[in-house]
Amino acid sequence: MTILNLVFIVFLGILFFIAYFHISNYILDIYGNKTLKRYNFENSIRVIVFIAPAFIVLFIFILYPVFETIRLSFYDKFGREFVGLYNYKWAVNDPEFRRSILNNLVWLLVVPTLSTFFGLVIANLADRIWWGSIAKSIIFMPMAISFVGAGVIWKFIYEYRGPENTQIGLLNAIIVSLGYEPQAWLTIPMWNNFFLMAIMIWIQTGLALVIFSAALRSIPKEMLEAARIDGASELKIFFSIIIPYLEQTILVIWTLITIIVLRIFDIIFAMTNGEWQTGVLANLMYDWMFRGGGDSGRGSVLAIVIMIGVIPILAWNLYKHRQEQKI
Amino acid sequence: MKKFSISSILSQLLLLFFVIIWIIPTFGLFISSLRDKDLLAISGWWTSLTTTEVNEIYRMSGMESQIEEDGYFKIKGKLFEDNSGKKIESFGITSKKINEFNIGDVAIFKDESEVLLDEDGNYEWRSRTEFKKKKGKRLFTTSLSPPAFTFENYREVLFKEGIGRAFVNTMAVALPSTLIPLIICSFFAYSLTWMKFYGRDTLLAIIIASLVVPLQMSLIPILTIYNDFGALFGVAAKSYPGVWMAHTGFGLASTTFLLRNFLKSLPNEMMEAAKVDGASHYDIFLRIIIPLSIPAFASIFILQFLWCWNDLLVGLVFLDQVPSEIILTAKLKELLGSRGENWEILTTGAFVSMTVPLFIFFALQRYFIRGLVAGSVKG
């Protein structure tokens, strides 16, 4: 496909949706103006016109797939024959699956906690220093970069060359200059997970930082002043006033990053491709989708396990929504 | 700050520490992308910031370039380009003793040919007898190399290595994948906020539940639909419209949710007044909602655009990995996997892929942050 063709279909694709709304509403406007009695009837057609595209997309891309994935998880690899719990039994007994679950849990434990912690500390520091906003910009910047781009960036930190060569990875160069043997960081089982998590923390701290910065402004100045006059140290203020005050925000950010981490795929796919025991559920699922022609049964089981991880959050969101509706 | 207390200095230092840790990785990539591609794979990027000593191996020209002069057969040439600014300090003719000779010394090979070398890399290799080998001998040099940066990598990568095309492809994926959900979700959010109909609350609850559904749930069923659709109508299963709709689907819940939260904050009286004046819902939408929502649109546009631009999984699953369809992140992943000589393409490609996000980041940071703070939860 030439670039010119590409520009043409992009233009056409966007125009299609604008045209749909404009033409259908234009027709309704002319028709509706003729007779006011039909206002209610016109109104309900209008609702359908407004909702239809979004609802169809929602149905095809979210609602139907959720049920279809559940169905497929009980079927064979082509989705044709019912096999009961076979795929689930496979998962429970598969060492790769157990490894992925374990890795995912470690990711879920480490990344949201450290990102939230660093975000809070940095937001608090930057708030009181005149060059704080520049510092915030710099720490926030990785948020704009793709996970793969971040992988390339960190390759220059973790790169390994044999001991007889000049090290071009920063970490190994430091290690060598201190007199130790260079290490192939990403291939050391268990520890390599933490080196990959460092990349994610590097990215997500920015998210925590900006949300905390906004929240910090809501803390009443008088309260902080009063504490300072009473002789409380900054550390004491941080733990006794700021953290309790931001409890709700901490919870929100922690959940937000948890949801992102649960689906983590790109970093591992780009850096190690799940080798050296770094695989997580999303990577294993991608493997099963395409490995040897694909196995939709096993892939679906893995998707469902990821889904199970978000169900508590989903339930909590719905509960909160209910509460808001009541008010 | 008025007072210079110890705690204030400590917090400045601590923040500085964080900033340095956070910026070093990106800075390293940026410097690497500006370095000579041959140096990239043999020395750390930090060495290029100062004048450094480098050890290199060069091969002199072979017999074709020999001339006869003053009773000698001579081969003259240059080891490296003038503009590199390198100055040779010492050299050797065997790998065992690479510092054996200084500039000005005459080095004598086993076959009694001699070589003279100046600090700019000009050499003169001479022999009483004719040179008979096609390949010249090797010289081992130790030279001082000043910091040198070049845009050569960018020129090469953009036009030769398919990165330029991948950039265009990514744009062709990201732009409609951002605008289509924005268009359909703004109508959706409007009706969820300002229109009364049966099942509205249920629909809203479905949206809130969909916010956290991982996109992995949808991959297999949607791929099946696309394959069936492609087979039925005889078109390719993987195509640009397919990716747009997939991104639209995955971004729909969060876009609708954010827009609805914004629309809810608009005053109800305005809509009522317009309705009394005989305006239809479409009039209200065009004349009142759109102008008021520009800041909200900007925030959501940025979030969704960055999401689509930076995505790897959707592009990998729903597009063919061929030059006319491959996106930047998939291309980078391909380069990351292949070992060896591709360092300059990798570093430069990565930076090219970051230009758009970084531009958005620096130019529109305010909207970006506003969008994030408004509570982006993405499925």
Radius of gyration of chain A (CA): 26
Domain B154-373: which CATH number of 1.10.3720.10, 3.30.1050.10, 1.10.1370.40, 3.40.640.10: 1.10.3720.10
* pLDDT beyond 60 at B376: no
* pLDDT beyond 70 at A37: no
* pLDDT value at residue B375: 56
Q: How far apart are CA B325 and CA B319, in angstroms?
A: 6
Mean pLDDT of A277-293: 83
* pLDDT value at residue B96: 77
* A155 vs B contacts (CB less than 8 Å): 336, 346
* pLDDT value at residue B246: 92
* pLDDT value at residue B248: 93
Q: How far is CA B230 from the centre of its chain?
A: 32
Domain boundaries defined on chain A:
3-65, 88-149+206-326
pTM (2 d.p.): 0.82
* pLDDT beyond 80 at A25: yes
CA distance A107 to chain B (A): 16
Comparing A28-37, B169-178, B240-249, the range with the smallest average pLDDT is A28-37
Mean pLDDT of A15-37: 77
* pLDDT value at residue A57: 93
Contact check, Cβ <8 Å, A68/B221: yes
CA dihedral over A89, A91, A93, A94, signed as positive or negative: positive
Q: How far apart are CA A142 and CA B358, in angstroms?
A: 9
Contact check, Cβ <8 Å, A130/B1: yes
10 Å Cβ neighbour count for A27?
12
pLDDT confidence band for B1 (50 / 70 / 90)? very low
**Closest to A92 measured CA to CA, from A310, A301, A312, A311:** A301
Name which of B21, B22, B34 to mutate to probe chain A: the one with the most chain A Cβ atoms within 10 A of its Cβ: B22
* pLDDT value at residue A151: 87
* pLDDT beyond 80 at B98: no
Q: How far apart are CA B257 and CA B247, in angstroms?
A: 16
Mean pLDDT of B297-306: 87
* A55 vs B contacts (CB less than 8 Å): 188, 203
* pLDDT value at residue B281: 82
Contact check, Cβ <8 Å, A43/B195: yes
* A300 vs B contacts (CB less than 8 Å): 220
Contact check, Cβ <8 Å, B216/A306: yes
Mean pLDDT of B226-255: 87
Name which of B54, B282, B327 to mutate to probe chain A: the one with the most chain A Cβ atoms within 10 A of its Cβ: B282
Amino acid sitting at position B170: T
Contact check, Cβ <8 Å, B377/A128: no
* pLDDT beyond 80 at A41: no
Query: What residue has token string 């004349």?
Result: B287
- Please answer whether residues A50 and B195 qualify as being in contact, where contact means their C-beta atoms are separated by less than 8 angstroms: yes
- Please answer whether residues B190 and B256 qualify as being in contact, where contact means their C-beta atoms are separated by less than 8 angstroms: no
Contact check, Cβ <8 Å, B373/A63: no
Mean pLDDT of B128-153: 78
CA distance A188 to chain B (A): 18
Contact check, Cβ <8 Å, A289/B15: no
DSSP secondary structure letter of residue A239:
I
CA distance A139 to chain B (A): 6
CA distance A299 to chain B (A): 8
Q: pLDDT tens across A48-94, in order?
A: 888 999 999 999 999 999 999 999 889 888 878 888 888 898 888 88
Contact check, Cβ <8 Å, A129/B176: no
Q: Which residues contact A183 (CB under 8 A, 6 or more apart)?
A: A160, A172, A175
CA distance B64 to chain A (A): 35
A198 three-state secondary structure: helix
Tell the CATH superfamily of the A88-149+206-326 domain. MetI-like (1.10.3720.10)
* pLDDT value at residue B211: 84
Mean pLDDT of B13-42: 84
* pLDDT value at residue B377: 42
Alpha helices by DSSP H, chain B: 6-33, 37-40, 152-160, 163-194, 200-210, 216-233, 240-264, 268-276, 281-284, 290-310, 313-318, 328-337, 343-363, 365-373
Query: Nearest Cβ partner of B175 from A10, A157, A210?
Result: A10
Query: Burial, B349: exposed, middle or buried (Cβ in 10 Å; 0-12, 13-18, 19+)?
Result: buried
* B361 vs A contacts (CB less than 8 Å): 140-141, 143-144
* pLDDT beyond 70 at B378: no
Contact check, Cβ <8 Å, B217/A132: no
* B354 vs A contacts (CB less than 8 Å): 144-146, 149
Residue in A closest to B316 by C-alpha:
A286
CA distance B226 to chain A (A): 11
The helix-helix angle for B343-363 and B328-337 (nearest 10°) equals 150
Contact check, Cβ <8 Å, A147/B312: yes
Contact check, Cβ <8 Å, A57/B369: no
Query: Burial, B164: exposed, middle or buried (Cβ in 10 Å; 0-12, 13-18, 19+)?
Result: middle
Contact check, Cβ <8 Å, A65/B222: yes
Q: pLDDT tens across A218-262, in order?
A: 888 888 888 888 888 878 888 888 888 888 888 888 888 888 888
* pLDDT beyond 90 at B180: yes
Q: How far apart are CA A241 and CA A109, in angstroms?
A: 25
Domain boundaries defined on chain B:
6-46, 51-146, 154-373
* pLDDT beyond 90 at A114: yes
**Closest to A155 measured CA to CA, from A112, A106, A95, A196:** A196
* pLDDT value at residue B84: 67
Contact check, Cβ <8 Å, B11/A61: no
State chain B's mean pLDDT as an integer. Answer: 82
Mean pLDDT of B59-79: 81
* pLDDT beyond 50 at A311: yes
* pLDDT beyond 80 at B222: yes
